[in-house]
Amino acid sequence: MKIGLPKALLYYYYAPLWKAFFNELNVDIIESNDTTAKTLILGKEKSIDESCLALKIYLGHIEELKDKCDYILVPRIYSITKSEQVCTNFNALYDLVRNTFPDIKILNYNIDLKHHHSEKNGFIKIGKELGFSIIESLNAYNKAKEIEKNYYKNEEKKAKEELRSNKTKILLLGHPYILNDNLIGKSITNYLKKNNISIIYSYQIPKDLIEFNCSKISQKIHFTMNKEQVAAFNYFKDKVDGTIILTAFPCGPDSLSNEMIIRKRKKHPTLLLTFEDLTNNTAVITRLESFLDMLKGGIHL
Count of CB atoms situated within 10 Å of the CB of 137 = 23
Across the beta sheet with 71-73, what order do the strands follow? 28-31, 2-5, 71-73, 106-107
DSSP string for 64-124: HHTTS-SEEE--EEEESSTT-B--HHHHHHHHHHHHH-TTS-EE--EEEGGGTB-HHHHHH
Q: Are residues 141 and 271 in the same domain?
A: no
What pLDDT does residue 113 have? 78
Question: Is the same domain home to 138 and 11?
Answer: yes
Report which DSSP code applies to 204.
G
The Cα–Cα gap between 37 and 8 comes to 14
On the question of pLDDT at 280 being above 70, the answer is no
- Give the residue, 87 or 128, on which the prediction is more confident: 128
Q: Are strands 28-31 and 76-79 parallel, antiparallel or unpaired?
A: unpaired
Q: What is the pLDDT of residue 15?
A: 95
Mean pLDDT of the chain: 89
Is 88 part of a structural domain of the chain?
yes
82 and 110 share one domain: yes
The H-or-E segment that residue 49 falls in is none
Task: Kindly state the average pLDDT of the residues 145-169.
Answer: 94
Phi, then psi, of 71 in degrees rounded to 5: -135, 155
Q: Give 128's pLDDT tier (boundaries 50, 70, 90).
A: very high
Q: Which of 253, 260, 246, 261 is nearest to 226 (CA)?
A: 253
Q: Quick one: 6 and 138 in the same domain?
A: yes
Q: 60 and 97: one domain?
A: yes
Q: Is there a single domain that holds both residue 132 and residue 12?
A: yes
* 78 and 50 in a common domain: yes
Position 299 pLDDT exceeds 60? no
How many other C-beta atoms are found inside a 10 Å radius of the C-beta of residue 276? 10
- Inside any domain, residue 151: no
Cis (ω within 30 of 0) for the bond into 250? yes
242 and 279 in a single domain? The answer is yes
**Counted domains in the chain:** 2
Residue from 225, 261, 298 nearest 54 by CA: 225
Distance separating alpha carbons of residues 142 and 144, to the nearest angstrom: 5
Which of 82, 116, 146 represents a domain boundary (last residue)? 146
Cα 169 to Cα 166: distance, rounded to the nearest angstrom: 8
State the burial class of residue 21 (Cβ atoms within 10 Å of its Cβ: 0-12, 13-18, 19+). Answer: buried
Bigger pLDDT: 222 vs 96: 96
Mean pLDDT of 274-301: 76
pLDDT top residue among 153 and 275: 153
Mean pLDDT of 208-216: 90
Q: pLDDT per residue over 56-104, tens digit each?
A: 999 999 999 999 999 999 999 887 877 777 878 888 889 999 999 999 9
Q: What pLDDT is stored for residue 286 in this prediction?
A: 85
Instruction: Give a yes or no: residue 238 inside a domain.
Output: yes
CATH assignment at residue 286: 3.40.50.11900
Q: Which residue range forms the structural domain that includes residue 250? A: 165-296
> Kindly report the CA angle at 9 between 169 and 127, in degrees rounded to 5?
125
